[in-house]
Amino acid sequence: MLKEFQEFAMKGNVVDLAVGVIIGAAFGAIVNSLVGDVIMPMIGAVTGGLDFSNYFTPLAKSVTATNLADAKKQGAVLAWGSFLTLTLNFLIVAFVLFIVIRLMNQLKRRQEAAPAPPKLTRQEELLTEIRDLLKKS
């Protein structure tokens, strides 16, 4: 059973998946930082510092707080601002990933479209070797 597990774990697909997950996690952190540290502050500057994450609708009469954290302690609240913020973050992340994948596909197409140099015939190879030998002497 241990041998079977080792064979399974060392298959190319499993190793590729592990590498993909690790790189994906690192890329996710980069994109989250881009959204949280670059894009959202610019949106906040454009909208005058508007932050939806603290918007909520109280569902219980006992909720009197004005910020979400305290309101959650007092009772049930519909935190629609947090949902809106996370949805906006998702859309930004999805758009950034779309742009990155689009650029990668364009690069891949360019590489595939580049014609390979024509393979030399045996006669051309011999002539090239003779030319190179003549240059050396």
Geometric angle at alpha carbon 119, from 115 and 125, rounded to 5°: 145
The pLDDT value given to residue 76: 92
CB–CB of 39/56 below 8 Å? no
User: What is the Cα–Cα distance from 112 to 104, expressed in whole angstroms?
Assistant: 12
User: What is the Cα–Cα distance from 90 to 98, expressed in whole angstroms?
Assistant: 12
Q: Is the pLDDT of residue 109 over 90?
A: no
**pLDDT digit string (tens) for 18-31?**
888 898 888 888 87
pLDDT above 90 as % of the chain: 19
Q: What single DSSP character describes residue 39?
A: I
CB atoms within 10 A of CB 71: 22
User: What is the Cα–Cα distance from 42 to 92, expressed in whole angstroms?
Assistant: 13
CB atoms within 10 A of CB 35: 19
The pLDDT confidence band at residue 77, using thresholds 50, 70 and 90, is: very high
Q: Is the pLDDT of residue 106 over 80?
A: yes
> What CA–CA distances, in Å, run from 56 to 5, 61, 81, 94?
50, 14, 6, 25
